[in-house]
Amino acid sequence: MVAREITASATIASEARRVVPDPPVRWFHRHSGFVRVTHWVNALCFILLLMSGLQIFNAHPALYVGADSDFEHPTISITAQRADHGIKGETLLFGRQFDTTGVLGVSSMNGQPTPRAFPSWSTIPSYQDLATGRRWHFFFAWLLVLNGLAYLVFGFAKGHFRRDLLPSAAELRHLGTDIIAHLRLRFPRGDTAKRYNVLQQLAYLAAVFLLLPLIVLTGLTMSPGIDTAVPQLLSAFGGRQSARLIHFLAASGLVLFVIVHIVMVLVSGVWNNIRSMITGWYDLGTAPR
């Protein structure tokens, strides 16, 4: 009798151990070393390309459509205009004019209003020097291209794009739900945080396969040497001035992507996100902070 009771108790305990679920895994290795390295190289290149690109733009702060510059009818321009009180900054966007004094067109230098499309703090170098700006721009442009090619080869070879960035049909059907959740600052936790959500996937795909290729190709189109070797680029983009306009717009789109990316990092858990991009490890149970 006692033996049967002991046996029954052992059986119940054994079954209880079998049905108790394993504790949830808290730490998840979210980013490989290669992805982390290329991410930070891209970040460095983008910042320096943007600042040196603004230096280049300041040398002729107007953009046009077509093969030639139509000085009387720019599509986008940032200029300084005479006003009753001195000078004012004026920005033209697709036919609409805006007073941007103190931000664009006219900024303060040594306490004095100075004509300048983008302010000195946003350009490399801070003073107007087209030649130096071009050297910075070309060096980091090629570094970005090489880093991007390495990332593409790795992404396709390791299945990174298919596994992490390509949304499924089910995820696309929940796009509206994800948008609402993001607007409410509600972010996935636990197992759902192991995979990029559909908004991240679409944003990264647009940046990697649309904006960055456009920036590189239009940048090449503005080179007379490349135009001689590959004249088809001029035809594809409608002329050198159109290529310059598209280059500017694509770069602006990438700036918007980076701003949204940084905001999402801040509101969804600053240290958790930064740690995962430095060490690779992401805390699935951490609340935003």
Asked if 246 and 228 sit in the same domain, the reply is yes
pLDDT tens sequence for the chain (289 residues)? 555 555 555 555 555 555 555 455 678 888 899 999 999 999 999 999 999 999 999 999 999 999 888 888 999 999 998 877 788 999 999 999 999 988 899 887 777 788 899 999 999 999 999 999 999 999 999 999 999 999 999 999 988 888 888 888 888 888 888 889 888 888 877 777 778 888 889 999 999 999 999 999 999 999 988 888 999 999 999 999 999 999 999 999 999 999 999 999 998 889 999 999 999 998 887 545 4
Number of domains in the chain: 2
Bridge partners, 97 (sequence order): 92
pLDDT value of residue 10: 53
pLDDT value of residue 5: 54
pLDDT value of residue 23: 52
Looking up residue 50, the CATH number of its domain turns out to be: 1.20.950.20
Asked if 53 and 88 sit in the same domain, the reply is no
Asked if 56 and 95 sit in the same domain, the reply is no
Asked if 101 and 211 sit in the same domain, the reply is no
In this structure, are residues 29 and 281 in contact, taking their beta carbons and an 8 Å threshold?
yes
List the strands of the sheet with 86-93, edge to edge.
62-63, 76-83, 86-93, 96-99
Q: What are phi and psi of 31, to 5 degrees?
A: -125, 130
pLDDT value of residue 18: 56
Residue 109 lies in a domain: yes
Residue 16 lies in a domain: no
Domain that holds residue 80: 69-117
Asked if 130 and 192 sit in the same domain, the reply is yes
Asked if 132 and 150 sit in the same domain, the reply is yes
Bridge partners, 80 (sequence order): 89
Asked if 265 and 219 sit in the same domain, the reply is yes
Residue 222 lies in a domain: yes
pLDDT value of residue 112: 79
Pairing of strands 281-283, 27-29: antiparallel
* Distance of alpha carbon 170 from alpha carbon 175, whole angstroms: 9
Asked if 81 and 161 sit in the same domain, the reply is no
Q: Which among 99, 117, 135 is the end of a domain?
A: 117
Asked if 41 and 167 sit in the same domain, the reply is yes
What type of residue sits at position 55? Answer: Q
Residue 6 lies in a domain: no
Residue 201 lies in a domain: yes
Asked if 255 and 276 sit in the same domain, the reply is yes
Residue 10 lies in a domain: no
pLDDT value of residue 139: 97
**CA dist 211 → 21, 70, 264 (Å):** 46, 26, 20
Asked if 41 and 152 sit in the same domain, the reply is yes
Residue 214 lies in a domain: yes
DSSP state of 1: -
Asked if 91 and 138 sit in the same domain, the reply is no
Residue 260 lies in a domain: yes
